[in-house]
Structure 1
């Protein structure tokens, strides 16, 4: 069964039950409540009359009693008698010894004789009752004031109410049914809107929202669905970006392996040719001592290249969070690397200008050492004879400048960080290296999250700058 009809049946059942119980309670409680309220009203009225007549002259008392008979708010018949029970007022008249008193609307009459003692038993009358009180006139003489009253029976009204109960129930059933039907449609309409919106959200459309107004639970549910949808869409976009990133890395790895294979294939082919020439004593290859040294040099170059390839692979395999992070002095790392390059500067007659400030950073010490070593190696490899290399370090920047043999063009600078790339003027591995130095530098700096730049300055000077992450600098 649909929730609309469930709500409808439940609502109309509640309305019908509440109405029936209310009418039953009304039938039994109304007569009791009516008698209770009327008695309280009569007692208050009688007490007010008693207070008004007390300590007044007898004639004034009689006059007020007459007046009360006609103007009283309640149907109370007042009888004034002395303490011996003789009726003082109303006056019976000469030759009359009885008083006819009509109580209520039932037509019942109580005859009081002038000699009767006013101990009247009104239980014989239909719902007739009396109230008594003692008052004094202005001379201090005490009198007995009796108030006779009658209550209108409500049994007839209850019987009439019982007769119209079926009609009231039918009317209540119709009105309640109509109200329950429209309420059920209204309440389930918003649920249907939420259901339609959630089905449309399956298309992953960012523009679809649950437009449910109000501050009730359904409106809060719609807001939660919107937030959940937004979170899912954000997560899906992040996953798509991550997948695209992983695909890019895989493509880069594949391209790197292809280039690596090409770089290794040529030296290996050359090495195989030299060895074959020495084995068969062909031409110049008879000088085995010389060409054994050449083979060793080629093998050493390939060993260095393989080591660089392994370094690159290790950088791809481990993220920044998985490497050993520590706080260390970058100045000490640079000074340790400079021990070799100071001697190299004297041999190559290169002027080495150094200005190092203390700089404590957080990162992987070994990887940063490789960066410093590769940058210094490139600077010495491409600095012209009798040139100058400047090394500057402060708390925020590391700068390495050198007077280059030839400044790089914009096209060369755009490719300089690609694996195995060497400028046209340094195609020889003896002078141009393996072509992996700056590629490794870029991989490490990207992992550390540090910005860097490599640009040409005036006077054919090349400048490599590293800008440290200020949040990871320990002052």
Structure 2
């Protein structure tokens, strides 16, 4: 069985509740109104008779007739008075029913043809001169019958109007109640599909509005978390890709010296030609092993850069930190008779972990020292938004710059012979990317310049 949706369910619940209330009210009016009305008439007649009794007590019995006559006419009742064996009826109604009753009563003869309903009240009153008077007041209950007839006539119309009102009200109420829920359903469906623009436009300040606002906040946090995870995923993919490229390059870089070492050892093993002089070529083999060891050490050190945990950043004075790195290369600078100009302002600061800063500038200064010609010049300077190092050398071409950050890339054999392993700028790039700094490596008039933007 298909479950009823929220709007028809709310509509039917509201309609039947209103229908029950209006039906109950109409039945209560129909059954209880005549009784309440009749009881009220009796109470009013009782109060009027009490007032009449007080007035009779202030007058003599001989003067009571006029008082009873005025009372009958003013209140539209018949008053029958019995005093000293005589009986007189004062007419205030257009009919009189002979009825002997010792007690108050309501005599309903509505079932008889052309009959009336009456209220009878009996009371013994005492005049000012001490004479007792038996008073019987007969009032018509026709207003009750007329009221019942009017109610019977009007009830079908009021009941029909109540049903129509219940239908209209139930429809409007159900729409008002379910509209925010349907809106939530549509918006949450968009949220389920992770649409960035999905959101509730909160206008109300009630519980529904607060709920919508909280859902918006939760969805914004969810999107932020998803974006963060996507960025982390892209970063991890980039790291894995970088590792793959690095390992392939490292394998290729190790393959060449290993092949040369194998050929050298095989020739020595079989005493081929000049390789019979084993002492000489054993020394050469040891040198190649040392070269391979150094290369493996460089590869391991470089691979650690990719897995380097993010360290606490701090404000660093660039001049002092770079000066300390320059001291490490003082011997090489002196051997090549290089002219180093360090013109970094004392107040030049940047926000970076000290370990990363030292690794970056150690590689940059090491490359500059290594590839600057004998007696060349190295310049380190900074301004408000960048810091750079420039060295004199043959500027690189655009084709060479396209591969300059690849691991183990060497521009030419001359640079390879100078002892470079092709990992310096690769390490610098990885570290600066991790720290979020922009950088550029570009040729200048008589050399190359590496710029880091602060």
The TM-score by the shorter chain falls in which range?
0.5 to 0.7
Name the residue aligned to 2:424.
437
Deviation of 1:273 after TM superposition, in Å, equals 2.1
Match of 2:358 among 345, 369, 373: 369
Are residue 383 (structure 1) and residue 379 (structure 2) matched?
no
Deviation of 1:420 after TM superposition, in Å, equals 1.2
Q: Deviations over 1:344-392 (max 9, x none)?
A: 2222121222345366655433332222221111111111222111233
Structure-2 change in CA distance of 1:219 and 1:254 (3 Å): same
Structure-2 change in CA distance of 1:167 and 1:221 (3 Å): same
Deviation of 1:395 after TM superposition, in Å, equals 8.2
Structure-2 change in CA distance of 1:452 and 1:127 (3 Å): farther
Name stretches of at least 5 consecutive residues in structure 2 with no aligned partner: 84-102, 106-118, 124-136
Name the residue aligned to 1:65.
none
Asked if the contact 1:99/1:112 (under 8 Å) is kept, the reply is no
Any residues of structure 2 matched to 1:303-452 within 5 Å, and which?
Answer: 303-320=293-310, 323=311, 325=313, 330-356=318-344, 357=346, 363-392=352-381, 397-404=386-393, 406-424=394-412, 426=413, 428-431=415-418, 433-452=420-439
Are residue 12 (structure 1) and residue 15 (structure 2) matched?
yes
Asked if the contact 2:22/2:159 (under 8 Å) is kept, the reply is no
Match of 2:168 among 164, 174, 179: 179
Asked if the contact 1:412/1:423 (under 8 Å) is kept, the reply is yes
Structure-2 change in CA distance of 1:231 and 1:337 (3 Å): closer
Any residues of structure 2 matched to 1:144-293 within 5 Å, and which?
Answer: 155-157=144-146, 159-160=148-149, 163=152, 167=156, 170-171=159-160, 174-175=163-164, 178-179=167-168, 182-183=171-172, 186=175, 188=178, 191=181, 195=185, 198-199=188-189, 203-204=193-194, 235-236=225-226, 239-288=229-278, 290-293=280-283
The whole-number CA distance in structure 2 between the counterparts of 1:152 and 1:23 is 26
Asked if the contact 2:338/2:377 (under 8 Å) is kept, the reply is yes
Deviation of 1:407 after TM superposition, in Å, equals 1.0
Give secondary structure in 1 for the equivalent of 2:255.
helix
Deviation of 1:189 after TM superposition, in Å, equals 6.7
Give secondary structure in 2 for the equivalent of 1:102.
helix
Structure-2 change in CA distance of 1:292 and 1:9 (3 Å): same
The whole-number CA distance in structure 2 between the counterparts of 1:6 and 1:158 is 40
Size of the alignment, in residue pairs?
Answer: 404
Structure-2 change in CA distance of 1:189 and 1:401 (3 Å): closer
Q: Deviations over 1:393-439 (max 9, x none)?
A: 678654322111x1112332232122111113x45523261100111
Asked if the contact 1:82/1:88 (under 8 Å) is kept, the reply is no
Match of 2:79 among 100, 106, 109: 109
Structure-2 change in CA distance of 1:361 and 1:82 (3 Å): closer
The whole-number CA distance in structure 1 between the counterparts of 2:439 and 2:293 is 29
Deviation of 1:264 after TM superposition, in Å, equals 0.5
Name stretches of at least 5 consecutive residues in structure 1 with no aligned partner: 47-75, 93-97, 114-122, 131-148, 469-475
Structure-2 change in CA distance of 1:370 and 1:37 (3 Å): farther
Asked if the contact 1:103/1:150 (under 8 Å) is kept, the reply is no
Name the residue aligned to 2:87.
none
Deviation of 1:245 after TM superposition, in Å, equals 3.7
Name the residue aligned to 1:454.
441
Deviation of 1:105 after TM superposition, in Å, equals 6.4
CA RMSD of aligned residues (A): 5.0
Asked if the contact 1:80/1:88 (under 8 Å) is kept, the reply is no
The whole-number CA distance in structure 1 between the counterparts of 2:308 and 2:37 is 88
Structure-2 change in CA distance of 1:39 and 1:166 (3 Å): closer
Structure-2 change in CA distance of 1:366 and 1:189 (3 Å): closer
Q: Deviations over 1:176-222 (max 9, x none)?
A: 55336634763557755654665566555557777999777667766
